[in-house]
Amino acid sequence: MADLNKWTPSDVLEPIRRFLDGDLTLSSIRVEQFMDGNTLVVRAEVPGIDPEKDVDVSVADGMLHIKAQREEKSEQKSKTGYRSEFRYGSFTRSVSLPPGAREEDVTASYKDGVLEVRAPAPEQAPPATGTRKIQIDHG
């Protein structure tokens, strides 16, 4: 019978490899935020999750809130033993909505491991042109 308490070099190096690859927790996921015209776009790389169960996108008080969590289990069975590993991680990000953005216009989609949230804002009125003299009242 194999000694399951005996570690091999690959057992020690695997967690280090995952850490360097940014694969230990969701807190190390990549997030980008940019404006596409008048729309705030927030993208987060969250592969391997179920967006219906593992992601919560909400809007409150002019802020966009994204929460995601992942629970992953892997098993390896071989003639020399059995190895089971669990990985858990969570991620939270809050971003200010653009001025004038309406909560009901915010949309979210998930495709190919990328969560994308879009928050459109109304076009701002063009700046006033010309000069207008203001009358000063004398009291």
**The predicted structure's pLDDT at residue 46:** 83
Q: Where are the domains of the chain?
A: 30-120
- The CB-based long-range contact list for 3-7 (8 Å cut-off, 24+ gap) reads 4/81, 4/82
Regarding predicted confidence, which is higher, 33 or 132?
Answer: 33
Kindly state the average pLDDT of the residues 47-73. 85
How does strand 114-120 pair with strand 39-45?
antiparallel
Q: With cut-offs at 50, 70 and 90, classify the pLDDT of residue 14.
A: low
What secondary structure letter does DSSP report for 95? E
Listed in sequence order, the residues at least 6 apart from 95 whose beta carbon sits closer than 8 Å to its beta carbon are 33, 40, 42, 63, 64, 66
CATH number of the domain at 30-120, out of 2.40.110.20, 2.60.40.790, 3.20.20.100, 2.40.100.10? 2.60.40.790
Torsional sign, CA 52, 73, 31, 67: positive
Q: Which amino acid is present at 46?
A: V
pTM greater than 0.75: no
